[in-house]
Structure 1
Amino acid sequence: MVLLFSGTFSLPWTEPLLLILSRFVGPLAGTLSGVVLLRLAGRLTPRAALFTAVAAVPAWALALTAAASWSVGFDQADAGQRLSWFGSSSLLFMILGWVAGTVCLAVPLTALLASRRSLPIRIMQAVLLAAPAALILGALMMMPPMLGVLGAAVLLIAALRQGRPVPPPATTPSPSIPLTVVATNRRGVGAAALALLVMGLACAVFAVTGSTWAPGVTNSTHAMNLGLAYGAFAAIPLLVLAGGVLAPRLGPTTPWAALLSSAAMAVEGFAQLLGAGHPSQWPATLVAALLMGFAIALPLGRLVIGGRFTRIAVVTLMGLAASTVGFPLVAMSAFLAPVGSALLLIWAWRSGNARQPEAGKVSA
């Protein structure tokens, strides 16, 4: 992630290191972690676990070779050069990696398929499942290493939770809230969501079409920057409202998550006001993505089992990992905010309708 977001691709060693880390080291480590977790849970036999761990090395190595061949071939074609044998062999390496990945996945799937059917039938079923699964994993590996980082965070949480008793949720007596107060709050949320929906749509329309009609807008890039900035600022009250609605479900860290996400929107709005090409725009966007990542990770901290230091460390790692999701969220916030406003409006409407029969019973 550091290599991807730091803009150091001009250095000669960056691209090979990024390929090795994201196409081989990361996927192999994730595979080995998954194998260990399944073995500790008693889902894999020792032989199946050992075979999968060993077979994952050539499978991911061939996937790395296919990615490197694709990269070399792309660079050579972009430079107008004749493709070398390595640059033109991407398809061959992809097929070999697919076959190796299918074999690697077929063995644990055969062990996981608990069935009374004969072994040949289970092997056939495992191969039919392993072939598309290996193809999907290979395709995901070719993408930027965002999903891999999130997958690693999921494996980390699963490792901390495995074999440990899950603490029961704290039960606190819920205060009696009059139905009229609840209805009033829901009506207020619905009215605010409707207003924010109109504002969000206006910002999105301005970002796309503002250059054709708005005075003072020089070109389409300027209009896009202004529309994204206004949309980011307009998303702040939406996040505050959503935090209030989700707080009973996500726990006591929700206000802090709402605060961090609002700060992310403020930083992103400032970044867009700077304009495209400004040297501070990209760093500000990265800060906004990081703040949004921690806003996503904080409510998930309740899933982590361990001491205070463990929880803080894991939530920190989860926040860094979730910044890969935070980046597109803040970058496209002006277009995503109307969707969030619409969902909040639907929630207020459906909740109000659900409360009506209950209110009738109370009145009776």
Structure 2
Amino acid sequence: MSPSLRNKYERLLRWYPKAWREEHGRFMLDTLEEHAGDRGIARPGVAEAWSIRAHGLGERATSRWAVVAAVVSLAAYVVATGILLTDVLQQPGAGAARIVLAIFAGPLALSFAVLILLRRRGQLSAPSALWLAAGAVPSWAVAALAAASWSVGFEEADAGTGQTWFGSSTLLFMLAAWVFGTASLLAPVASLAERKLPAPMRWLLSLPVAAVLSMVLGVAAAMGQMMGAVVAATALVLAVAASRPEQPKVAVAEARRTGPPRSVPRAAAARRSCATAGAMALVSLVAGLACAAFALTGSTWGPGASDSTHAMNLGLAAGALAAMPLVVSAALMLAPRFGKVMWISAALLGAGLVVASASQLSGAGSSLQWPLILLAAVLGSLAFALPVSGLLSIRPAVRLAIGIALGLAGFVPGIMVVSAAGFIAPVVAGVVVVMSARTLSRDRRWAHFQAVSPG
């Protein structure tokens, strides 16, 4: 191999991380030299250079990159949703900022996170992943232009001043975004197709699949902006889980087989906790059903209910407070599995229920109702996120950061949950009552079996 060709290969290998080059670089360079000598080439081909760069970037794109990309996506979606749900949207430039965050920055970072995860799991080849990553940038950029064009055109139509070229180009931008998206998805879809098919047939079959998938992703990004934070949070959980060092399989299997030792006093304490949790859930079940009945029918018979809306508010306010014993019950049952963090979660969820009750008591149309619902949703989603974060990391700072991130992501579905807490709590309480009763029955049968069995 000529020195110039060797230098070109050495420059291409710099796309790999330094640690990889120190371990595998010499062998890789020798292999490339031998392969180039067999072919008699003077410089790397375009396809070969692209493959080396793609695999080098694939080695650099670790699971931590996926974590960073998921965090960026989550932050973009949370801020965009906050702009949409608050009075900030009325400020100059807020609408454009929301479009950039929700249609460009959030989906683009989420695409990178998903690509890295798929690449690390070996489900996507490095060249296909790099092709899709490169194509995602113009695809989401043009999609954001389409959303901005639609918004400008809508405002211009309301003002009656006539449309500018930008406001009237929404369809053109949408078509361009669809074309870019289809082109970027074509290589990954073709790489997943049956390898036995001829290359032209594989690409021809992949084209309609990529076109439909591009359209679905575009519509989902445009219509489901408020749920984007939930998807980004899911990607964050998967990325953090993928970045954790794996435990030895033998140790994990042995721990699952044997389980923690459980003495007789601890078993008795567990039964008492289960019985207490079931009794408290039963209180929430009975009280919650009564509150739900008042919310639905109290306008015809309930004291102090002036109309159906007022009865609904009073019933939901009382139902949220009636769920407090259920919260303590859940903490009793889950604390042995998740640890003391469950009591912090119980305190956050209890505070969220109190705030939700206050939002219902403030009445429909009150200026306090919506801010209180948002606060209750954040507290409730944080309560659910903290135990999950404990499963992903043992470091307190990382657990806290992940818990806050997941909590902020979950506040959108949390709005629906806290608003209907008075109806949801009796259902959950019924499930807890049944579970605790079955657990106590199984423990009693086991204790009886041990008492009557010989030896």
The reply to whether TM is greater than 0.5 is: yes
The 1-side partners of 2:402 and 2:145 are apart by 32
Q: Please, which moves more after superposition, 262-271 or 140-149?
A: 140-149
Aligned AA (1:348): S
1:282 equivalent among 370, 375, 392: 370
1:19 — aligned with what?
A: 99
| CA deviation string 1:300-342 (max 9, x = no partner) | 1224347543333333322222323322221221121122112
Say whether 1:324 aligns with 2:412.
Answer: yes
1:204 equivalent among 288, 292, 313: 292
1:272 — aligned with what?
A: 360
Q: CA deviation at 1:43?
A: 4.0
Q: Please, which moves more after superposition, 345-354 or 51-60?
A: 345-354
* Inter-CA distance 155–201: structure 2 relative to 1 (3 Å threshold): same
Q: CA deviation at 1:21?
A: 0.8
Q: Please, which moves more after superposition, 183-192 or 308-317?
A: 183-192
Say whether 1:309 aligns with 2:389.
Answer: no
DSSP 3-state at the match of 2:88: coil
2:428 equivalent among 325, 334, 340: 340
Aligned AA (1:214): G
Q: CA deviation at 1:112?
A: 4.7
* Inter-CA distance 307–72: structure 2 relative to 1 (3 Å threshold): same
1:247 — aligned with what?
A: 335
1:223 — aligned with what?
A: 311
* Inter-CA distance 299–178: structure 2 relative to 1 (3 Å threshold): closer
1:138 equivalent among 206, 218, 239: 218
Q: CA deviation at 1:204?
A: 2.4
Aligned AA (2:341): T
DSSP 3-state at the match of 1:9: helix
Q: Please, which moves more after superposition, 72-81 or 252-261?
A: 72-81
Which structure would you say has the larger Rg?
A: 2
2:130 — aligned with what?
A: 50
The 2-side partners of 1:75 and 1:207 are apart by 41
Aligned positions of 1:171-190 closer than 5 A: 172-176=260-264, 186-190=274-278
The 2-side partners of 1:352 and 1:77 are apart by 66
1:262 equivalent among 323, 341, 350: 350
The 1-side partners of 2:304 and 2:161 are apart by 46
Say whether 1:213 aligns with 2:287.
Answer: no
TM-score (norm 2): 0.68
- Assess if the C-alpha contact under 8 Å between 1:43 and 1:111 holds in 2: no
Q: Please, which moves more after superposition, 305-314 or 122-131?
A: 122-131
- Assess if the C-alpha contact under 8 Å between 1:32 and 1:53 holds in 2: yes
Gaps of 5+ in 1: none
The 2-side partners of 1:351 and 1:128 are apart by 52
* Inter-CA distance 140–306: structure 2 relative to 1 (3 Å threshold): farther
The 2-side partners of 1:15 and 1:331 are apart by 27
DSSP 3-state at the match of 2:264: coil
The 2-side partners of 1:208 and 1:73 are apart by 43
- Assess if the C-alpha contact under 8 Å between 2:362 and 2:368 holds in 1: yes
Q: Please, which moves more after superposition, 298-307 or 337-346?
A: 298-307
The 1-side partners of 2:193 and 2:395 are apart by 36
DSSP 3-state at the match of 1:165: coil
1:108 — aligned with what?
A: 188
| CA deviation string 1:166-192 (max 9, x = no partner) | 458897533335877766654554444
Q: Please, which moves more after superposition, 113-122 or 48-57?
A: 113-122
The 1-side partners of 2:188 and 2:265 are apart by 52
The 2-side partners of 1:122 and 1:343 are apart by 50
- Assess if the C-alpha contact under 8 Å between 1:190 and 1:349 holds in 2: yes
The structure, 1 or 2, with the larger RCO (C-alpha pairs under 8 Å, 6+ apart) is 1
Aligned AA (2:315): G
| CA deviation string 1:33-78 (max 9, x = no partner) | 2223434455433321221012112322343244345545655677
* Inter-CA distance 91–177: structure 2 relative to 1 (3 Å threshold): farther
- Assess if the C-alpha contact under 8 Å between 2:273 and 2:332 holds in 1: no
* Inter-CA distance 251–73: structure 2 relative to 1 (3 Å threshold): farther
Question: Over aligned residue pairs, what C-alpha RMSD do you find?
Answer: 3.5
* Inter-CA distance 25–355: structure 2 relative to 1 (3 Å threshold): same
DSSP 3-state at the match of 1:217: coil
- Assess if the C-alpha contact under 8 Å between 1:193 and 1:341 holds in 2: yes
Gaps of 5+ in 2: 1-78
The 1-side partners of 2:196 and 2:243 are apart by 28
The 2-side partners of 1:73 and 1:49 are apart by 36
TM-score (norm 1): 0.82
Q: Please, which moves more after superposition, 347-356 or 234-243?
A: 347-356
| CA deviation string 1:261-283 (max 9, x = no partner) | 11111121122222233333333
- Assess if the C-alpha contact under 8 Å between 2:352 and 2:375 holds in 1: yes
Aligned positions of 1:61-210 closer than 5 A: 61-72=141-152, 93-94=173-174, 96-112=176-192, 119=199, 123=203, 130-143=210-223, 145-166=225-246, 172-176=260-264, 186-210=274-298
| Identity score, percent | 40
Q: CA deviation at 1:23?
A: 1.1
